Amino acid sequence: MASVELIFPHSGMKFQMPNDDLRTRLAELDKAIAKEEARLKKLKNDKFLVQQQLDSIVYPVLTLPLDVTLEILARCSSPPPHQSYGPHWCPTVLLQICRAWREIGLATPTVWTTINLDFTTRPGKHGGRWYNRNVERYLAYRVSLARDRPLFVSLGGGPRWAECLRGDTFSALLHRLAPRLQSLELSVDPNGLAKLDNNPPSFPLLQTLAINVDHGYHKPIKKLFRDAPRLQDVWTRSWGLIDFPWKQLTKFHGDRVSTEDAWYILQSGENLVECALTLVEDETQSSLHSDPCSHPHLQSLTLRRDFNSYSKEYLPFIEFLALPAMRSLHLCMMEKYDLEQISTFLSRHSSQLHTLSSFCGTTSIESLRGMAHLTNLEFWDGKISYIHEFFRELEDLKQRFLPQIQHISFKSCQFILDSADVEMFARGLTSRWDPCANMVAQIRAFHVDLRRTDEMTEYDMAEEFHKIRPSLAGLAALAKRGMHIYVGTRSANYVQGVKKGEWFIR
């Protein structure tokens, strides 16, 4: 039998092994390898089965329709109010949730077009440094995700900009974003705007602007929005400090405006279609305009008294103002002003109004008689005596009272209805349900929103309505025939039915 000499180089030893033993050893190794290969095959098979089970799991987020996923991404792409960006919160992390979201996010630039930077909260110990290092880089990335789409940007934080950004960062940000802006909201340190006024950017796409500057700041800002050829819609609490391109504006909403300022706005904005003004006390009352002013394009006017204005005011501009195109008028908390002037103004425009919103104390029934084209009427703080007079006129079809009315709403009424009141509602509404027979428009919606008194709870209100439940049948019948009727509190429509001790959440 032949033998083989085995040499182990590390030890220098030699070992003679017979051929038969070598064959035996080789067979043992083959057997061991086969055994390990079987184990490996089993592991691979187990892995395949586990992978199959994992792949078969459908995560709920992946079953959402595309439009729902896009809405989630859009809502999450900007922080909630008073939540500023920081090292641990940034909307672009949405792209790291899963591959599907990343693909959707990158393929949908409109998700990233709304950018909200709010520096109201303090940046913390290291927050200021983070903003200085990252905010410009973040915005550059965010703008790149939006591709060539116009941007809707809100920059807020007032004086705390100085705690978050270097002095020149705000100016650089606005210059970089300006060519892409379609909508801009600014509530920032006025000193930053003053610096921009010396070197204003161009806003070729800007259409909507909302701006709020500290009232204590008095340096005028004249050139900032001079190069904004498409700007049409402005909201501001600081209009007197900023020179807007008045002739091109079609919508203007101004807070804290004196009656003198209101006259200037209506004269300067000759192309305004919609104007809303919150009036404050006029400290000077320097001049009472006697020259008539006609605004040919204004279709919607809103006049609102500021909450902090208590004295009875004279409205010189209303007495001499003519609005031949006005179709919508909203008068909010104007009962402190000269009601005779307001009544004269209403009478002068009554025949052209289609929509009127007012406090009951501001608008008399006599003023309503001339509103032949009114289709939408909303009253606030309604008194039951006023509503009784209103429905007496409504029932008398011979008087042709509000012949085109379709929507009637009484909001925030502080009284309790009895059966006679509810039956009065039903009679008046029924008389306006058949337009062919009565030659008047069909009332489509009726709303009475009752405000509970301090002495009553929601439960007490439900109990009172339970007492007059039988009289609600007439209103319920009209509702079944198609009229939208809501009579109750803000949380319960009692026309839909109410059981004793129970109310329904709207």
Domain ranges of the chain: 3-57, 64-249
The pLDDT value given to residue 326:
94
For the chain, percent of residues with pLDDT exceeding 70: 78
The pLDDT value given to residue 308:
63
* Contact by Cβ (8 Å): 387, 440: no
Spell out a b/e string for 39-54, using b for 16 or more CB atoms within 10 Å of the CB, else e.
eeeeeeeeeeeeeeee
> Is the pLDDT at 299 greater than 90, yes or no?
yes
The pLDDT value given to residue 495:
85
342 band by pLDDT with thresholds 50, 70 and 90? confident
* Torsion 277-279-285-288 (CA) sign: positive
369 band by pLDDT with thresholds 50, 70 and 90? confident
**E strand or H helix that includes residue 437:** helix 435-438
Coil vs helix vs strand at 331: strand
Task: Kindly provide the residue ranges of all beta strands, DSSP E only, lying in 395-497, ordered along the sequence.
Answer: 407-413, 445-450, 484-489, 492-493
> Is the pLDDT at 501 greater than 50, yes or no?
no
> Is the pLDDT at 293 greater than 50, yes or no?
yes
- The more confident residue out of 397 and 173 is 173
The pLDDT value given to residue 258:
82
Task: Kindly provide the residue ranges of all beta strands, DSSP E only, lying in 198-280, ordered along the sequence.
Answer: 208-212, 233-236, 251-257, 274-279
Residue that has been written with the tokens 């949405």 in this structure: 94
The pLDDT value given to residue 500:
41
Counts for the chain of helices (H) and strands (E), in that order: 16, 19
Residue that has been written with the tokens 């040499």 in this structure: 7
* Contact by Cβ (8 Å): 381, 354: no
The pLDDT value given to residue 504:
37
Give the mean model confidence (pLDDT) for residues 115-135: 60
CA–CA separation, 114 and 74 (whole Å): 8
Q: 444: which residues sit within 8 A by CB, 6+ positions away?
A: 406, 407, 483, 484
126 band by pLDDT with thresholds 50, 70 and 90? very low
User: Measuring CA to CA, which residue among 433, 437, 442 is closest to residue 477?
Assistant: 433
- The more confident residue out of 392 and 60 is 392
275 band by pLDDT with thresholds 50, 70 and 90? very high
Give the mean model confidence (pLDDT) for residues 293-316: 76
> Is the pLDDT at 446 greater than 90, yes or no?
yes
CA–CA separation, 200 and 183 (whole Å): 17
Give the mean model confidence (pLDDT) for residues 104-109: 84
Stated pTM of the model: 0.76
Summarised one tens digit per residue, pLDDT across range 49-102 is: 998 888 777 767 677 788 888 777 777 776 555 455 554 456 677 777 778 888
The pLDDT value given to residue 120:
58
The pLDDT value given to residue 215:
59
Give the mean model confidence (pLDDT) for residues 377-405: 87
> Is the pLDDT at 245 greater than 60, yes or no?
yes
The pLDDT value given to residue 43:
93
Helix axis angle, 99-107 to 66-76, nearest 10°: 80
> What's the token pair of residue 83?
């939540």
> Is the pLDDT at 263 greater than 90, yes or no?
no
User: How much is the mean pLDDT over the chain?
Assistant: 79
> Is the pLDDT at 207 greater than 90, yes or no?
yes
> Is the pLDDT at 47 greater than 60, yes or no?
yes
> Is the pLDDT at 231 greater than 90, yes or no?
yes
506 band by pLDDT with thresholds 50, 70 and 90? very low
* Contact by Cβ (8 Å): 332, 361: no
For the chain, percent of residues with pLDDT exceeding 90: 25
CA–CA separation, 119 and 468 (whole Å): 54
